[in-house]
Amino acid sequence: MIQYSWLIPALPALAFVLIALLTKRSKGLSASISIGVMAVCLALSVCLFLHLLALDPAGRVFAMNWTWLSVPPWQANMGVLIDPLSVNMLLVVTLVSLLVQVYSLGYLQDDERLSTYYSYLSLFTASMLLLVVSTNFLQIFVGWELVGVSSYLLVGFWYFKPEAAEAAKKAFVVNRIGDVGFLMGVAAIGMTFNNFDFTQVEALVTQGVAHGTYTSGFVSILALLLFCGAVGKSAQFPLHVWLPDAMEGPTPVSALIHAATMVAAGVYMVARTFPLFSADLHAMTVVAYVGGFTALFAASIALTQDDIKRILAYSTLSQLGYMMLALGAGGYTAGMFHLTTHACFKALLFLGAGSVIHAVHSNDIWKMGALMKPMRVTGVTFLIAALAISGVPPLAGFWSKDEIFAAVRDSSVPGHQWLLAAAVFTAFLTAFYMFRLFFVVFLGEARSPQAAHESPKVMTVPLLILAVLSISAGWLNWPGWDAFSRFVYEGPAPHPESFDGVLALFSSLVALAGLTLSGLFYYWKVFSAQKAADRFHPLYLLLKNKYYVDEFYGWLVRKFTWGLASLFDWLDRQVIDGGLVDGLGRLTQDLGGLLRFTQTGSVQNYALVILAAVAVIYLCVSF
Partner 1 sequence: MSTVPLAHFLYFALALFSIGLFGVLARKNAISVLLGVEMMLNAVNINYLAFAKYWNWNSLTGPVFVIFIIAVGAAEVAVALAIVISVYRQFKSANVDEVHALKG
Applying CB under 8 A, which residues contact partner 1? Answer: 595-604, 607-608, 611
Beta bridge partner(s), residue 79: 65
Q: What is the dihedral of CA 367, 368, 374, 375, to 10 degrees?
A: 130
Taking the complex as a whole, the smallest distance from the CB of residue 616 to partner 1 amounts, in Å, to 16
Q: Give me the helices (H) in 212-331, please.
A: 216-233, 242-245, 251-256, 263-272, 274-278, 281-302, 308-328
Residue 288 is classified by DSSP as H
Residue (215 or 600) nearer to partner 1, CB: 600
User: In one letter, which amino acid is 571?
Assistant: L
49 CB-contact burial (10 Å; exposed 0-12 / middle 13-18 / buried 19+): middle
Residue (604 or 622) nearer to partner 1, CB: 604
Element (H, E) at 560: helix 549-570
Residue (25 or 596) nearer to partner 1, CB: 596
CA atoms within 13 A on the CB side of 370: 8
Cα-only R_g, the chain? 30
Taking the complex as a whole, the smallest distance from the CB of residue 597 to partner 1 amounts, in Å, to 7
User: In one letter, which amino acid is 457?
Assistant: K
Coil, strand, or helix at residue 197? strand
Residue (211 or 596) nearer to partner 1, CB: 596
Taking the complex as a whole, the smallest distance from the CB of residue 606 to partner 1 amounts, in Å, to 10
Residue (412 or 605) nearer to partner 1, CB: 605
Residue (71 or 594) nearer to partner 1, CB: 594
Residue (597 or 623) nearer to partner 1, CB: 597
Taking the complex as a whole, the smallest distance from the CB of residue 592 to partner 1 amounts, in Å, to 9
Query: Cβ contacts of residue 412 below 8 Å, gap of 6+?
Result: 281, 330
3-state secondary structure 399-467: HHHHHHHHHHHCCCCCCHHHHHHHHHHHHHHHHHHHHHHHHHHHCCCCCCCCCCCCCCHHHHHHHHHHH
Dist. CA 608–CA 623, nearest whole Å: 22
Taking the complex as a whole, the smallest distance from the CB of residue 602 to partner 1 amounts, in Å, to 5
Residue 125 φ then ψ, to 5°: -65, -40
Residue (561 or 600) nearer to partner 1, CB: 600
Taking the complex as a whole, the smallest distance from the CB of residue 618 to partner 1 amounts, in Å, to 14
CA atoms within 13 A on the CB side of 613: 6
Taking the complex as a whole, the smallest distance from the CB of residue 567 to partner 1 amounts, in Å, to 43
Taking the complex as a whole, the smallest distance from the CB of residue 558 to partner 1 amounts, in Å, to 54
Taking the complex as a whole, the smallest distance from the CB of residue 591 to partner 1 amounts, in Å, to 13
Residue 262: which of 183, 352, 185, 168 has the closest Cα? 168
Residue (598 or 622) nearer to partner 1, CB: 598
Residue (564 or 615) nearer to partner 1, CB: 615
Taking the complex as a whole, the smallest distance from the CB of residue 596 to partner 1 amounts, in Å, to 4
Pairing of the two strands 62-71 and 74-82: antiparallel
Residue (530 or 604) nearer to partner 1, CB: 604
Residue 244: which of 167, 304, 178, 297 has the closest Cα? 167
Peptide linkage before 73 cis (omega within 30 of 0): yes
Element (H, E) at 30: helix 27-54
Taking the complex as a whole, the smallest distance from the CB of residue 590 to partner 1 amounts, in Å, to 14
Residue (565 or 609) nearer to partner 1, CB: 609
Taking the complex as a whole, the smallest distance from the CB of residue 603 to partner 1 amounts, in Å, to 6
